[in-house]
Each structure stands twice: as structure tokens, then as C-alpha cells.
């Protein structure tokens, strides 16, 4: 199909929820006020690591206005966690706290002020334990166990995978580079602080409204920890005011709100403060990385060996997946014939890290792309040309058995190179180009980097054979169509995508489609808004459901018009034969005909990704129906006296497969670039004296309009056979190349390497000082942990093998038109 065959797809339409958002009518979780609602606050640990000896809540209970006080004793003693293998969290800590901010008690009161006062009246007797605040601390003190489970003392996960003979490949290389990088942790910083409202009604049924990206997983966890049948629990995800992965776990405050509602017989709201959001965290893991790669003279990669150490924080969260993700996605981008990956996630007494935009892949991408830049320099190659040469082959497998379909990366590189004036500026800017005596301290530089990202995880969080996404489409006699889907709109536009796709298939307008999202009682399960899965998975399910509805309607209209159903088309809110359009039936009438023939017109659509997991343990993380690709060129100025970096332009080419709505895709790309800039230059979640150093919007630095450069987005369409109308993801991938592109541009400007994120002005000045002193002009990590990775699981490299059959997936319609 070419673009102009579509009526809705490819048009820059407003989002369906845009109108409510611009007039302030959208109800986020904290905007809900129910009759008799009580307000709750959590009392959080002031210790990074301590045993709880006792908790005295008597003074809090006595405070007028307090309606309930709870501790772990008031909840079933059931641990939870997002991954079945890491059930290590408690809604309220019973015996031990593992970080400052761990919840230990909660108060519900007539207002928030009273609840807060009451929390301050609770006395907790702690027995402090040694706090382990870094990977090094935790490995050095195996006698201090943060958890009793894992792959070793304070080791949450230890993985090692080898695909082919990497040592041999490196031996045969013309150049072998070994580099060490560090990526500091950072927070999602959604503008909306998490909030939840629970109502345990008198009929014994519980409803939870929450700003969550994963209502289905919250539903499962509530049933487990509250010891209540899931059938009596309803979770509604309210519109999420920014997620970025930070609202993807089930959280203590959600569970506690439910229990307090049960105990008080009143609706209960908990709204976190900004500081609490920093403790809730699940943000980017700090990752230390060692990467050894062999190159030929021409710039081809002969093999790559990557080691990662993740600072996981106090709980498991998605950590096992995060660990794998630091290793498994890099091979999707370039031709890497053999590959070895070793990774370990270490527990520390800090807020738990988890999935942030680009989950686990952002850090090793920084390492690989900076290393490529260094290699290109050493080999005398242009870094753009070198990358262009080694782009992976479409419809092949990677060394680690991932099936790759379409790849638009070559075109992305070409386009950003051209748009940015790469060749001219690389020659004109840059430290090597300058012979003139110092005139201005402001030096310009240009850098490039590329990346790939999955379009939805190929496996669910809990093992099952059910759909990952389900949609019900119901046609109304009015001509309106309701779409029920468990997906959560976190601002990315999933409600809109559902409306567009349904409208496209049925030949109606998006306005005729009413999307009812994210309500576990009403909507088929969608696993959640994470891993860039929603457009593809919900989209495919919606298309299937809409096609089934369309087929039913066609059958009825065909009878009426006495033509074959195959002769019919649906467009312009009509159903008819193109050559006899005057007789076309209005859509509402067509629905009536359909309902008369079939009864109620409601059809399901289901989607599960193709089963392509590598046949080895650990092969379940990394597979995706298809991968998006991005290439990024950054143009910047560095002040060599102050180390200040000013970004001027970012060009980003993104292989989107197909832009279902180019406006929304651009928005996702621009937002990704923005977030990458923040991580590259200023955002960091750091600790001092066991405490978060700056849990506030003022001191945790997030770029404003003034730090954000002009972003030039170039969309490349490859029409992927796995995606809805060919679409791939856009929400995460474009973040990845921005950070190394900035690092590489700084090197171009000044001839220094900052192998550590964030790249702050003081690190730049330090590197310049080293350079002036004739030392290696590099600032970055100097040491690696003493740690024994487990024996690698050795698997043959699948590099270059042809992709397995495309478009063969569970629940696919046989009657594919």
C-alpha cells in the first residue's frame, strides 16, 4: 500500500484527547475527589538500612482527624514485585528497611495536613545496619546482606552469554579497543507525581484509580498482596501525567490506599510528593561498563565483548530484565559476527532502579557509540561513513539470535549527514581543524551516533500463552464505534492510535470512534505502556477487531446491495462498491444491517508477538516483532574556559516503519531527544551520606526551554511487515543516540573524551587540564569491581542467518485480507 491509499493513517491529526487536555478537563488521579474521601500519607524510613525493632503509632492514632493508622501488621505478609523472579517488596516494611524512603507505616485522615502531622507522631525504633551505597560497597561487604536471595551476596543477577568465539575474532582484528564507561542513574521526573485513589465499597469490591502505566500488573499484585479475588478488584488507569517507565511497577502507595480504604470504609487518596517520587524511582540504572571490540582496518567489527555492572538499588523491580537489556540490544544495530555479554546487577541501599525510557539499552549504547567514535578516529575513518558501512542486514539474525526485519538505519544516517552539513562542518569545526590562535573560548563540534530499539518486548512479564494485547470493537447504531482496550495513554497517544486505526479500517472518522482505555473490568488485557509495545500490539489487535467488524458489516451490506462482500470498500463513512458509489450505504445504516443480520456487533482482536525467543536460557529478553533505528547528529559549542556546553542543533533520523500520525511521531522523537539531552548533560540521581542529594525539581536539573536546541526530525519509513500498517516504535529509541552523539561532538570540539554521563562542565575542565598537562585527555571511571561473572552459556552465533518466517504469530487472522 502506498501512503495516498489511506484516509486517516499518515495525517497529522490532533490527538483525540487533546481537546480535553487544553481546557483542563482531563482528570488525572489526583484530580479525583470522592465523597467522604480520606487522605493518606506514608511514613518513610529515615535509614538506608536498618532493622525495625518496633513501631509505636499510639500518638498518631490519638490525633484528632486521624481515621486509620497501619503498619505491616495490618497487611497480609505477602511480598510482591513486578517480576515473578523478584518478589522482594513489601507495601509496608515489616522487619527491615533497605533505603531512605522505604515505607513503614501509613495514616489516613480527614485531610492531608492531618495525615502528615500524624506521620510525624509515629515512633519507629530502628537498629541501624551498615548502608551499602555503591556497587563497590555491596561487593566488598558480602556479610551485610540486603536481601536473602539472588545470585550471590548482594548480587541480584549474574548473567553470561557467549555467541561464537569472541577471543579468536578479537585476535584477528586490526584494532582492538578496550574502554570503560560509566552512566550515572537518573529519574524519569514525570511532571505528575504518582497518585492513587482506592475505594473498597460495601459490596466488598475494590476499585483503584491510579496513575499507572500497567493496570493489569497492578491488578494481579493487588489480588496477591491483599488476599482478595482478582475478580473483585477493578483497576482503572487514569490518564498518566508523564510516565517514561516510572509508573510501570506496582507500588506501595497503591496497595496501602486499598488497605486503608478497606479498614476505614471510605475512599482513600494517596498523592506522592516530589521527594517521594524520587524514592519510588525505578529510574535509569547507574551502570559501569567495560567494552572490548575488534575492528578491521576498514572499520568492520570482528567481535565484541561487553561487561556491565548495574547498581540496582534496594529492590528487584525489572532488574533482571534491565540486566539482560544492557547486553542484548547492541547487536541489533551493526554487523557484530560474534558477541559475548556478561552482566551483573548489584543491590545497594538506594531507591530501586528500573525501566526508564530505553530500558537498560541506553547505557551500553553510550559505551558502544563512544567506542566506535574512538575507533574511527584511530583508523582514520569518518565516523558516519564507518557506521554506514557496518549497518546490520535486514531480515537476518544477530549473533545473539534476535530476528531483525526492516532496517532503515542507512537511510537515517544518510539523511542526518546531509541535513546537518556533516561533511562541511566536520572539516571546519573541531579541534584538529583549528590552527588559528585562540580568538574565542567557544569551540564548536559535531558528533554522530546511532541506535536501535525494540518495538515491544517479545515475551510477557509472567509466562503465558495469552494475548499481549486485546481490543474489543463494538459498533453502535448511531454509526459510532467503541474501542475497549487495556492500554494506558501516558501522553504518547495510544488512545489516538486506537481511534485512527479503527477509523482507517472502517472508513469512518477518528471522531466517530470512542476509546475506552485501561479499565480491568471493562477492557481486554493489554500488558501496559512499556517497552514501546502499545502502538504495535494494541494496533494489531485493533486492526484485527475492526477488520472482523468490517467483514460482518460487509456481509450484510453485500446482501442488501446484492454484490460480493469482496467488492465492497468502507470509506467516507460509507460502505459500497467503488464503481457504484452512489448506492453506497451510510456507515450507520450499514451497522444496522449488520446488527440485523448478526445480532450485536462486537468483535475481539488479539495480538501476541511472534515466538522467536532464542532457544537458550535468557533468550526471552531482547526479541521483538521489529526494531526501530535512529541516527543522530549533534552540533554544539563548548566554552573551554567554563566547560559549559551549549547545544545548537540536533538532527535525528528515525526509522519509524510507517508514521501513523507524523505529528505524534515527531513529538515522541523530540521528547526523546530532550530527555537524552538532560541525561547527557545534567540529570543525575546521586547520594550523599546515605541520602538522595537533591530530591527536588530545583536541584535535580531538568532542561528548560533555554537548554533545548532546535530539533530537526527526519522520519524514514520502511513499512515493516510486523507492524500495524508497517509502523514501528518512536517513544524510546530516539533517546539513545543523543547521549553518545553529544559526547562525540564534545570530543570533536575540544579533543577530550568524557566517558561518563552526565557530562558536566567540571569534567570538561578537568579533561582540558589533563590535555594541557600532556596526559590522556579523558575523564571517566578508573576502576572496575572485583567480580566473578558466571561461566558463560556458550551458544553458536546466529549472525547472518536469514530471519525466521515473518508475520507468523499467535492469534493472527486466517482470513487476512
Partner 1 sequence: MIRLPAFTYLAPTTVDGAARLMAEHGREAMLVAGGTDLYPNMKRRQFEPKVLVGLRGIPELRGIRGSAAGGFTIGAGTTLSAVAAHRDILRDFPALATAAGLVSSPQLRNMGTIGGNVCVDTRCNYYNQSYEWRKAIGFCMKKDGDICLVAPGSSRCWAVSSSDTAPVLWALGAKLRLVGAEGERTVPMAALYQDDGIDYLAKRPDEIVADLQLPPAEGWRSAYLKLRRRGSFDFPVLGVAVAARLEDDVVRDARIVLGAVASQPRPSEKAAAALVGQRVSPELIAHVADLAAGPAKPLDNTDFSHPYRKKVTRVFVARALAAVCGLGDSGVTSEEVA
Partner 2 sequence: MKVRVALNVNGEFREALVPVHKTLLEVLREDLELTGTKHGCELGECGTCTVLVDGEPVLSCLALPIETAGRRITTVEGMAEGGQLHPLQQAFAELGAAQCGYCTPGILLTATALLARRPSPTRKDVKEALAGNLCRCTGYTKILDAVELAALRMGRQEART
692 touches 352 (CB < 8 A): no
364 touches 328 (CB < 8 A): no
Write the secondary structure of 41-85 as one string of H (helix), E (strand) and C (coil).
Answer: EEEECCCCCEEEEEEECHHHHHCCCEEEEEEHHHCCCCCECCCCC
Q: Which is nearer to partner 1, 47 or 292 (CB)?
A: 47
Give the contact letters, 604-633, x = binds to partner 1 (CB under 8 A), - = no. ------------------------------
Q: Which is nearer to partner 2, 102 or 192 (CB)?
A: 192
Task: Please identify which residue in 643, 676, 737, 751 interacts with partner 1, judged by CB under 8 A.
Answer: 643
Q: Which is nearer to partner 2, 115 or 304 (CB)?
A: 115
Note whether 666 binds partner 2 by CB under 8 A. yes
Note whether 696 binds partner 2 by CB under 8 A. yes
Note whether 437 binds partner 2 by CB under 8 A. no
Q: Which long-range contacts (CB under 8 A, 24 or more apart) does 14-17 make?
A: 15/493, 15/495, 15/496, 15/664, 16/495, 16/496, 16/499, 16/510, 16/511, 16/513, 16/515, 17/239, 17/489, 17/495, 17/496
Note whether 698 binds partner 1 by CB under 8 A. yes
Which 3 state secondary structure label does DSSP give 781?
coil
Note whether 21 binds partner 2 by CB under 8 A. yes
745 touches 635 (CB < 8 A): yes
Q: Which three cell numbers stand for residue 547?
A: 477488520
Note whether 100 binds partner 1 by CB under 8 A. yes
Note whether 511 binds partner 2 by CB under 8 A. no
Give the contact letters, 204-243, x = binds to partner 2 (CB under 8 A), - = no. -----------------------------------xxxxx
- 73 contacts which partner out of partner 2, partner 1, none, CB within 5 to 8 A by kind? none
Helix, strand, coil % in the chain, rounded to nearest 5 = 30, 25, 45
Note whether 430 binds partner 2 by CB under 8 A. no
Task: Please identify which residue in 260, 391, 633, 765 interacts with partner 1, judged by CB under 8 A.
Answer: 765
**Hey, which bits of 432-485 come out as E strands?**
442-454, 469-475, 481-485
As a whole number of Å, the end-to-end CA separation of the chain is 13
- Which candidate, 409, 394, 404, places its Cα nearest to that of 653? 409
State residue 131 phi and psi, 5-degree precision.
-95, 130
785 touches 288 (CB < 8 A): yes
Give the contact letters, 43-62, x = binds to partner 1 (CB under 8 A), - = no. -x-xx---------------
- 243 contacts which partner out of partner 1, partner 2, none, CB within 5 to 8 A by kind? partner 2
Kindly tell me the sign of the dihedral angle through the C-alpha atoms of 157, 162, 168, 174.
negative
Task: Please identify which residue in 62, 191, 201, 596 interacts with partner 2, judged by CB under 8 A.
Answer: 191
609 touches 532 (CB < 8 A): no
Residue numbers 25-54 binding partner 2 by CB under 8 A: 25-28, 30-31, 33
215-225 vs 252-264: helix crossing angle, rounded to 10: 50
Give the contact letters, 451-470, x = binds to partner 1 (CB under 8 A), - = no. --------------------
- 670 contacts which partner out of partner 2, partner 1, none, CB within 5 to 8 A by kind? partner 2
Give the contact letters, 432-451, x = binds to partner 1 (CB under 8 A), - = no. -------xxxx---------
Note whether 703 binds partner 1 by CB under 8 A. yes
- Which candidate, 528, 536, 541, 533, places its Cα nearest to that of 483? 541
Pairing of strands 206-210, 233-237: parallel
Q: Which three cell numbers stand for residue 333?
A: 544495530
DSSP letter for each residue of 558-589: HHHHTS-GGG-EEETTEEE-GGGGGGPEEHHH
Note whether 14 binds partner 2 by CB under 8 A. yes
- 772 contacts which partner out of partner 2, partner 1, none, CB within 5 to 8 A by kind? none
Q: How far is the CB of 643 from partner 2 (least distance, A)?
A: 22
Task: Please identify which residue in 137, 165, 174, 275 interacts with partner 1, judged by CB under 8 A.
Answer: 275
Kindly tell me the sign of the dihedral angle through the C-alpha atoms of 728, 730, 735, 737.
positive
60 touches 122 (CB < 8 A): yes
- 639 contacts which partner out of partner 2, partner 1, none, CB within 5 to 8 A by kind? partner 1
Which position has the grid cell 563548548? 638
Note whether 294 binds partner 2 by CB under 8 A. no
Write the secondary structure of 199-231 as one string of H (helix), E (strand) and C (coil).
Answer: EECCCCCEEEEECCCCHHHHHHHHHHHCCCCHH
Q: Which is nearer to partner 2, 74 or 495 (CB)?
A: 495
- Site size for partner 1, by CB under 8 A? 40
Task: Please identify which residue in 8, 9, 10, 17 interacts with partner 2, judged by CB under 8 A.
Answer: 17
Question: How many of the other CB atoms lie within 10 Å of CB of 209?
Answer: 28
- 439 contacts which partner out of partner 1, partner 2, none, CB within 5 to 8 A by kind? partner 1
| Pairwise CA distance, residues 761 & 767, whole Å | 10
Residue numbers 240-269 binding partner 2 by CB under 8 A: 240-244
Note whether 695 binds partner 1 by CB under 8 A. yes
- 23 contacts which partner out of partner 2, partner 1, none, CB within 5 to 8 A by kind? partner 2
Q: How far is the CB of 757 from partner 2 (least distance, A)?
A: 18
| Pairwise CA distance, residues 291 & 336, whole Å | 13
Residue numbers 487-506 binding partner 2 by CB under 8 A: 490-493
Residue numbers 190-229 binding partner 1 by CB under 8 A: none
- 191 contacts which partner out of partner 1, partner 2, none, CB within 5 to 8 A by kind? partner 2
Q: Which helix (H) or strand (E) holds 593?
A: helix 587-598
| Pairwise CA distance, residues 386 & 407, whole Å | 17
Q: How far is the CB of 34 from partner 1 (least distance, A)?
A: 17
Question: How many of the other CB atoms lie within 10 Å of CB of 188?
Answer: 23
Note whether 58 binds partner 2 by CB under 8 A. no
Q: Which is nearer to partner 1, 87 or 273 (CB)?
A: 273
Instruction: Give the footprint of partner 1 on this chain (CB under 8 A).
Output: 44, 46-47, 100, 112-113, 116, 120, 271, 273-275, 439-442, 639, 641-643, 682, 689, 691-696, 698-699, 701, 703-707, 760-762, 765
Instruction: Give the footprint of partner 2 on this chain (CB under 8 A).
Output: 12, 14-15, 17-28, 30-31, 33, 188-193, 239-244, 273-274, 490-493, 663-664, 666-667, 670-675, 696-698, 702, 704-706, 708, 710-711
Amino acid at each position: 500500500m502506498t501512503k495516498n491509499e489511506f484516509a486517516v493513517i499518515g495525517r497529522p491529526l490532533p490527538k483525540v484527547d487533546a481537546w480535553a487536555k487544553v481546557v483542563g478537563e482531563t482528570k488525572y488521579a489526583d484530580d479525583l475527589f470522592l465523597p467522604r474521601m480520606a487522605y493518606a500519607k506514608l511514613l518513610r524510613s529515615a535509614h538506608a538500612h536498618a532493622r525495625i525493632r518496633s513501631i509505636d503509632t499510639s500518638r498518631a492514632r490519638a490525633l484528632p482527624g486521624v481515621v486509620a493508622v497501619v503498619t505491616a501488621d495490618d497487611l497480609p505478609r505477602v511480598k510482591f514485585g513486578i517480576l515473578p523472579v523478584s518478589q522482594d517488596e513489601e507495601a509496608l516494611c515489616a522487619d527491615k528497611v533497605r533505603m531512605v524512603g522505604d515505607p513503614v507505616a501509613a495514616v489516613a485522615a480527614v485531610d492531608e495536613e492531618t495525615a502528615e502531622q500524624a506521620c510525624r507522631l509515629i515512633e519507629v525504633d530502628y537498629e541501624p545496619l551498615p548502608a551499602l551505597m555503591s556497587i563497590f560497597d555491596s561487593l566488598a561487604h558480602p556479610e551485610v546482606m540486603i536481601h536473602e536471595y539472588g545470585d550471590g551476596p548482594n548480587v541480584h543477577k549474574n548473567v553470561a552469554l557467549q555467541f561464537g568465539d569472541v577471543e579468536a575474532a578479537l585476535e584477528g582484528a586490526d584494532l582492538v579497543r578496550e574502554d570503560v564507561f560509566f552512566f550515572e542513574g537518573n529519574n524519569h521526573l514525570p511532571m505528575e507525581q504518582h497518585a492513587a485513589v482506592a475505594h473498597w465499597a460495601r459490596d466488598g469490591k475494590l476499585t483503584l484509580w491510579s496513575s499507572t502505566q500497567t493496570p493489569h500488573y497492578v491488578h494481579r499484585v493487588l489480588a496477591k498482596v491483599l488476599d482478595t479475588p482478582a475478580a473483585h478488584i477493578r483497576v482503572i488507569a487514569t490518564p498518566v501525567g508523564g510516565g517514561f517507565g516510572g509508573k510501570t511497577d506496582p507500588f506501595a502507595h497503591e496497595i496501602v490506599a486499598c488497605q486503608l480504604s478497606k479498614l476505614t470504609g471510605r475512599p482513600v487518596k494517596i498523592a506522592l510528593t516530589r521527594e517521594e517520587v524520587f524514592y519510588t524511582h525505578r529510574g535509569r540504572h547507574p551502570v559501569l561498563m567495560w567494552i572490548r571490540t575488534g575492528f578491521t582496518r576498514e572499520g568492520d567489527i570482528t567481535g565484541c565483548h561487553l561487561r556491565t555492572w548495574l547498581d540496582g538499588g534496594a529492590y528487584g523491580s525489572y532488574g533482571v530484565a534491565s540486566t539482560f537489556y544492557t547486553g542484548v540490544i547492541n547487536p541489533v544495530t551493526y554487523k557484530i559476527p560474534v558477541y559475548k555479554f556478561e552482566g551483573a546487577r548489584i543491590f545497594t541501599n538506594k531507591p530501586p532502579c528500573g525501566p526508564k525510557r530505553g530500558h537498560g539499552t541506553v547505557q551500553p549504547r553510550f559505551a558502544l557509540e563512544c567506542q566506535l567514535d574512538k575507533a574511527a578516529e584511530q583508523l582514520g575513518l569518518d565516523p558516519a561513513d564507518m557506521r554506514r558501512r557496518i549497518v546490520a542486514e535486514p531480515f537476518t539474525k544477530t549473533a545473539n539470535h534476535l530476528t531483525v526485519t526492516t532496517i532503515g538505519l542507512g537511510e537515517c544516517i544518510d539523511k542526518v549527514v546531509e541535513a546537518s552539513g556533516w561533511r562541511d562542518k566536520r572539516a571546519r569545526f573541531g579541534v584538529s581543524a583549528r590552527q588559528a590562535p585562540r580568538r574565542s573560548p567557544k569551540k564548536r563540534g559535531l558528533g554522530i551516533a546511532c541506535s536501535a530499539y525494540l518495538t515491544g518486548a517479545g515475551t510477557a512479564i509472567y509466562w503465558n500463552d495469552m494475548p499481549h494485547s486485546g481490543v474489543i470493537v463494538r459498533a453502535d447504531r448511531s454509526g459510532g464505534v467503541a474501542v475497549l482496550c487495556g492500554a494506558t495513554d501516558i501522553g504518547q497517544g495510544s488512545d489516538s492510535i486506537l481511534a485512527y486505526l479503527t477509523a482507517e479500517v472502517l472508513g469512518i472518522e477518528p471522531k466517530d470512534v470512542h476509546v475506552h482505555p485501561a479499565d480491568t473490568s471493562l477492557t481486554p488485557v493489554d500488558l501496559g505502556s512499556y517497552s514501546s509495545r502499545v502502538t504495535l500490539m494494541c494496533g494489531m489487535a485493533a486492526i484485527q477487531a475492526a477488520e472482523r467488524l468490517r467483514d460482518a458489516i460487509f456481509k450484510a451490506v453485500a446482501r442488501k446491495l446484492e454484490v460480493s462482500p469482496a467488492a465492497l470498500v468502507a470509506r467516507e463513512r460509507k460502505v459500497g462498491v467503488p464503481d457504484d458509489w452512489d448506492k453506497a450505504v451510510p456507515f450507520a445504516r450499514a451497522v444496522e444491517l449488520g446488527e440485523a443480520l448478526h445480532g450485536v456487533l462486537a468483535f475481539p482482536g488479539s495480538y501476541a508477538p511472534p515466538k522467536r525467543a532464542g532457544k537458550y536460557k535468557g533468550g526471552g529478553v531482547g526479541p521483538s516483532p521489529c526494531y526501530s533505528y535512529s541516527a543522530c547528529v549533534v552540533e554544539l559549542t563548548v566554552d573551554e574556559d567554563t566547560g559549559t556546553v551549549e547545544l545548537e542543533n540536533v538532527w535525528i533520523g528515525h526509522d519509524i516503519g510507517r508514521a501513523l500520525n507524523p505529528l505524534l511521531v515527531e513529538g515522541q522523537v523530540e521528547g526523546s531527544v530532550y530527555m537524552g539531552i538532560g541525561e547527557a548533560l545534567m540529570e543525575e540521581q546521586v547520594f550523599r551520606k546515605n541520602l538522595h542529594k537533591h530530591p527536588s525539581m530545583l536541584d535535580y536539573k531538568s532542561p528548560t526551554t533555554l537548554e533545548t536546541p532546535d530539533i530537526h526530525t527526519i522520519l524514514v519509513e520502511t513499512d515493516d511487515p510486523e507492524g500495524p500498517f508497517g509502523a514501528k516504535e518512536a517513544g524510546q529509541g530516539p533517546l539513545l543516540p543523543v547521549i553518545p552523539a553529544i559526547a562525540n561532538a564534545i570530543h570533536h570540539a575540544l579533543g577530550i573524551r568524557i566517558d561518563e554521563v552526565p557530562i558536566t562542565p567540571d569534567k570538561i575542565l578537568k579533561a582540558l587540564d589533563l590535555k594541557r598537562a600532556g596526559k590522556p585527555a579523558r575523564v571517566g571511571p578508573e576502576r572496575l569491581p572485583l567480580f566473578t561473572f558466571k561461566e558463560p552459556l556458550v551458544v553458536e552465533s546466529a549472525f547472518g542467518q536469514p530471519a525466521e518466517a515473518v508475520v507468523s504469530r499467535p492469534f493472527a487472522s486466517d482470513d487476512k485480507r
